[in-house]
Structure 1
């Protein structure tokens, strides 16, 4: 099978989302306000589209654009979904009008990357609250990759606090499903692929199943392919002060895992470091593990160790980020030698 044929096959195959799919479909049978979140590339949009296959809906991907442009786009999509000419002849000039029209047609509205719309038009949350409290329209699905912002939608003080029907967190695939992307790989090679890519479907699709893991790594990371830039793009999406987070993640990947070790390695103030580590834990990029020790809980907390909880980030900050200058210059001897010498030992943590 040629590579492009295999990718086409996988794109039409829905891997291990039966639980989330069943849950979404059940709630879409009634009027529901659904929040779907999870890190970028994990498969949120595909899950939503799959759940809505037999449900009248309008899907809109929010962008960095003026609210007026969003309204124009939504009006066209509503016309195509309903056949109602009023959406073209007299399109809504405000979101107030849009929600008023939606209240009469009972169609499901999907707003993907919803935090971008909130950023460009904060009033949308209040309007959504009114629509939900007093309207009679269909379901609304709010989807986003900014985990912190999506969680904040349901916090006390948010206009839609207490309105959501259900939240669905889309997680990476488990290791046992990786073989569905690489049917020709040995069990050992599957472990190697999982150790680099974790269970992120988009990343798994970037590896050519006809090539070895090492060949794919050389092309995608050391050859400055798609996966080379992805880690820092993800961090920029969630965080400011990227340089500080890079320093912390590199230190942990290098084996500095206690709080004092990280503090010494990074040279950061303890209280500042604690805040940064807490943020990384909230984003589920870093995990904190406590030793099994007898005695007081305080003693166990002092023995806590930090680790990278995502294999893709662990690989990137172990083998790519420390050698970015060499990779940018095309001087690959040292990065490749380091990868080949240390990769098997790295896999012991996976």
Structure 2
């Protein structure tokens, strides 16, 4: 590792945890801190002016929250941001009504136009002054959420972001009728839903499900893909330029090859390189495997065959249907029905852990693949 000639690098970046913006782990809140997402920013900005529902989709740690927050901040319009994952209870595997309302309440109180929202809610008989501390009936929470949306609609154009919105399928409040009401009646509100479990988010919304209250509603879809090889190299180069550090191109090449353009992992590599050098690649893999282990354990517990299927695909790299069936049969010592394997493959695709390209399945995230091979 060498410093760039004529430029100063101060080691307090590591000591204080304050790093130049490209390698910061927090979601970006300014367009100048985003890298290479010009097309997605343009689509989102255009959608905000005319669409009622916008879906921002992509792998975990691909930059969905950064895209949304930075773009919204650039417009100057008020917006509400709710991280649905924070309301999810790992024990009950539910999103309790009062937790969801508390997340919404906290976001409303951070609005720049907070007083106007509070006044509108007071007229409707709703107070945001105190958080929900006790369990209350779901119907009461749903009524308060509905009134909050009504109050936001009075502000003029406003966006409501539901980050990782697929978790809403676990909500103890029936939200789909409410969201359909927002879509149909509250013309000033744009709903933005992000999702890493794309298929499960589609299932929750039910745009193509005749039984869903949201059936037939149009939603603009913006999909974020991992950076290709050249964009990944450019991202790392720019980040290291911010740090005033020159890194061997061979090290950058290996990082790109093993981390595969997933922005979150590239960021962690950039941060760790200052301390670990080229060993940072392996450090990211170990740290990342621990991060995704909990995600895997929670998801794979839903079927006794998910782990065997994931192991089959991770081991083979790319696997066809017959490869998966043969591997699972060999692992279990008995044959699992084709219908069961087909169902579980579909669900793993919906959860975003694997993807199907032509007739082959692969683990979508390289660190998830590493974690599967390490832990399962």
Q: Give me the TM-score of the superposition, normalised by structure 2.
A: 0.69
Matching of residues 258-297 of structure 1 within 5 Å: 258-267=323-332, 268-271=335-338, 272-283=340-351, 285-287=353-355
Unaligned runs of 5+ in 2: 1-8, 89-95, 128-142, 238-245
Structure 2 partner of 1:164 = 218
Q: Residue 187 of structure 1: CA displacement?
A: 4.4
Q: Deviations over 1:227-267 (max 9, x none)?
A: 12233333356554466333333333333842454234322
Shift of 1:284: 5.2
Quote how far apart the aligned CAs of 1:47 are.
0.3
1:123 CA drift (Å) = 2.1
2:105 is aligned with 1:72: yes
**Residue 241 of structure 2 corresponds to residue 190 of structure 1:** no
**Residues 188 and 151 (structure 1 numbering): CA distance in 2 closer, same or farther, change over 3 Å?**
farther
Q: Partner residue of 1:8? A: 21
1:33 corresponds in structure 2 to: 53
C-alpha distance in 2, partners of 1:138/1:232? 37
Residue of 55, 65, 81 corresponding to 1:45: 65
**Where does residue 365 of structure 2 map in the other structure?**
310
Q: Output the CA distance in 2 between the equivalents of 1:305 and 1:9.
A: 34
Does structure 2 conserve the Cα–Cα contact (< 8 Å) formed by 1:103 and 1:136?
Answer: yes
Task: Answer 1 or 2: higher relative contact order, Cα 8 Å, separation at least 6.
Answer: 2
Alpha-carbon shift at residue 202 of structure 1 (Å): 1.5
Task: Tell whether the 8 Å contact from 1:7 to 1:205 is kept in structure 2 after alignment.
Answer: no
Structure 1 unaligned residues grouped into runs of 5+ = 291-303, 323-350
CA drift of 1:280 comes to 3.1
1:61–1:111 contact (8 Å) kept in structure 2: yes
Instruction: Report the equivalent of 1:18.
Output: 38
User: Could you tell me which of 115, 133, 136 is aligned with 1:83?
Assistant: 115
Q: 2:306 aligned to 245, 265, 271, which one? A: 245
Question: Equivalents in 2 of 1:270, 1:74: separation in Å?
Answer: 47
- Distance in 2 (alpha carbons) for counterparts of 1:313 and 1:83: 45
- Residues of 2 paired with 1:311 and 1:197: CA distance? 6
Give the alignment's Cα RMSD to 1 decimal.
Answer: 3.1
Q: Within 1, Cα distance between the matches of 2:313 and 2:21?
A: 38
When the two structures are aligned, how many residues end up with a matched partner? Answer: 304
